[in-house]
Each structure stands twice: as structure tokens, then as C-alpha cells.
Amino acid sequence: MARPSDLSMHNRRDRLDPLPELSELSERAPLSQVELGEGPGSSTGWLVTGHDEVRAVLGDAERFSTAPPAGGTRPVQAGNLIQYDPPDHSRLRLLLTPEFTVRRMRGLEPAVEAVVADCLDSLEKAGQPADFMRHVAWPVPGLVMCELFGVARDDRAELARLLKVSRPAFRGRQLQMTAGAAYLAYVDQLVARNRRAPGDDLLGRLVRAHGDDIDDDELVGLTAFVMGSGVENMASMLGLGILALLENPDQLNLLRQCPHLIDQAVEEFIRYLSIIPTASPRTAREDVRLAGEVIKAGDQVACSLLAANRVRPPGAPPDVLDITREATAHVGLGHGIHYCIGASLVRMELRSAYLAVLRRFPELRSAVPPEEIRFRTQAPYGVETLPVTW
């Protein structure tokens, strides 16, 4: 796992806030040439920090590609949507789109609420203090993904463990690789079972409706990508969101008193936390003029979602958490063709979990001082543990 000091400036932060260096860079210009990537193999490229400029790059799939450059260090992963350009990206995304409609998510909501309630039971039974990450933030999205993809109940605990251990930020490279291989092997078996006998779940419906339009490698990769990102990103959001509330007691009390603000609160958490600090890298297909600069064909471009969402113009009041904020055109879930396909699930899951936590534990508070909270540095940004009491 990379140490914080090994990460590029735009991928680090000061607890929940952007580094001052990122803010200063963004204030000077919306587009700068910096070292992209981590370690000795990094190269110079463009870092886009301005809100409008980030949206312009992310929204332009014709002139900016997300596919890993030929001969580069990033391997191409079958089924990984963020590495696909049209038309293959469009083909795969269209297969998934009907599964993540608001209507479909409403049907899933009772199951999500039951999962959250069970995990809060686990937190309470653990006794005080208890680790919110271990008992709630990690298992909730793991179990929701199992519900969504029809994973057998007997397999869910082990699959949730593999998803957690195989994440890039997990300590222990060999353990991570072993868990990652076991996770992919399980997904391969899950796909094979659904090829033989499609179930009444996302994967089964996908096989029945579009089985001839996607090969096994892509289907395994697509399933692994959606499940993996759905668990890891959501765990980060749940943990950081609760921490942000605990460290902003005025906002915590306001949400307790006015639960009808939950939709605005969820949108504000997505913007404020920006758990993916930098969007997947782009490569310019042609010369592009942006913000008075010329991005040459072949140049690497990184878009700082954190800067676009959080850095304020010079002279403006500092950015703060405000759950009454009217909806903004933030990029916390991306923008353009790679906008988070599971956005409706993200919002529903966060809404259910945050409200349930506050109802169940009205006196919830951190069990350790702020300086003892350990943060996970690699994307998605999050906390390693979050000891709480109530």
C-alpha cells in the first residue's frame, strides 16, 4: 500500500479537506502541468482543477479517451467500464442501465433497509466502543451487492470478506492478491451458474435478456467491477459521512431534527467527501484548447474531482459541510458517459443507512479523539476504523 507521502498532491488531503497546495494550484489556474501517477514511473501531464474545465473534459468522450494507452503500465480489464470507450462502453452500459433505474431501486429498498437493520444490530451487540467500519460500513454494501446479484446466503459472509481484503488499500500485498484471485474465481462460478440457470436477480436478468451480446470474460469482469466498486465506494461514503456528521455537530443536530433534509444531505455528502479524488485518467485523442492552454494529442489528463467540488474562488468563504445546500452541478459521481451507473443505488443506500443510524443511535459519538482516526489514502478515500460509542 502506498504511503501518504508517496501519493501525488492531488490524491492526498488533510483529513476531509483538500490540501492547501491543491487549493493554491487551482486558484492560480484551472489547468496545470504536474507529475501524474505515483512513484518513479510517473510522468508529466495535465491536472484539471477548475469546475467548468473538469466537466468539459469528462463530458468530451470524442476527444478524451479513458482506455489505457497501448504499452502503458495499466492493464486492460475485460468488462471494466471506466477503461472502455464508445462503442464498446455504450454497448455494455446499455445492458446495465435498466437495472439501476429509480423504480428498480425502490423495489430493492426494503431489502437494503433490512440489511442496514441487521448490521446495526451487530454494532450494538459488539458493545461499546465498536468499530463502525467493521460492523456497518463494510458489511452493508457487501450484503446489498449480494442481494442485487443473487449471491447465495451461505456464500455472502465469505464473499464480503474477499471484497474487503482484495481492495487496493488493504495491508498485506500477498493476502490482497490471494483474496482478489478468490473473488474473481467466485464471480466466474456465479456467471457460469447463471449461464446454465439464470436467477431472478441482476445477473440472471442480464443473461436472459442479453446473454448473446456479451461473452463470459466481459460478463465476469463487468460483474466484478460493479460489485467491487459498489462495496468499496459505499463503505468509504458510509464511514466518512458519519465521521463528517460527528465532526460537524451543528449539521448532525440539524439532520436529527429535520430528517426530511436527507436527500439534500446525501447530495452534499457526495460533493463534500469526493471519495474518488481524481477521475480515471484520460488521454487526449487530438489537440484540444482549454482554459488558454493547448493539450496535445497523446497528453495524459487527470481531472481533480476534489478540487472541482471543494476549492472555492479567491475571496470566497471557505467551503463547509452544509446539508441545506441546494443541489449543485457537482462531479462527486463523475460526469459524462462515465457518470456513475449506480447513482440511484448510491443515493438510496446512503439515505437508508444514514437515517437508520441516527434513529437507532441518537447519541452516537466518536470514541476516540480526532487525531487517532486513521485514514485510508488510496482511492476511494476513507477511514480504516471508526470507533464509536452511543
Please report, for the chain, the start and end positions of each structural domain, with discontinuous segments joined by +: 4-73+80-370
Contact 295, 21 (CB under 8 A): no
Pairing of strands 31-36, 17-18: unpaired
So what's the pLDDT on residue 6? 58
Q: What is the mean pLDDT of residues 320-345?
A: 94
Nearest to 187 by CA among 206, 203, 165, 210: 203
So what's the pLDDT on residue 43? 78
pTM score of the predicted model:
0.91
Q: b/e map of 231-267 (b: 16 or more CB within 10 Å)? A: bbbbbbbbbbbbbbbbebeebbebbeeeeeebebbbb
Phi-psi region of 68 (alpha: psi -120 to 50; beta: other; left: phi over 0): beta
Asked if the peptide bond before residue 168 counts as cis, ω within 30 degrees of 0, the response is: no
Nearest to 302 by CA among 20, 13, 80, 57: 57
So what's the pLDDT on residue 331? 97
Please give the backbone phi and psi of residue 99, each rounded to the nearest 5 degrees, phi first: -85, -10
Is the confidence at residue 117, as pLDDT, over 80? yes
Is the confidence at residue 231, as pLDDT, over 80? yes
pLDDT tens for 5-52 read 457 878 889 999 999 999 999 999 999 999 886 655 567 899 999 999
Is the confidence at residue 162, as pLDDT, over 90? no
Is the confidence at residue 164, as pLDDT, over 90? no
pLDDT tens for 170-210 read 455 666 677 778 888 999 999 999 999 998 899 999 999 99
Q: b/e map of 144-171 (b: 16 or more CB within 10 Å)? A: bbbbbbbbeeeebeebbbbbbbbbebbe
% of the chain with per-residue pLDDT over 70: 93
So what's the pLDDT on residue 2? 46
Q: What is the mean pLDDT of residues 216-222?
A: 94
Is the confidence at residue 166, as pLDDT, over 60? no
Q: What is the CATH number assigned to the segment(s) 4-73+80-370?
A: 1.10.630.10
Q: What is the mean pLDDT of residues 90-97?
A: 93
Higher-pLDDT residue of 10, 337: 337
Is the confidence at residue 375, as pLDDT, over 80? yes
Nearest to 364 by CA among 233, 232, 255, 231: 255
Beta bridge partners of 131: 387
| Residue 194 cell numbers, joined | 447463471
So what's the pLDDT on residue 112? 96
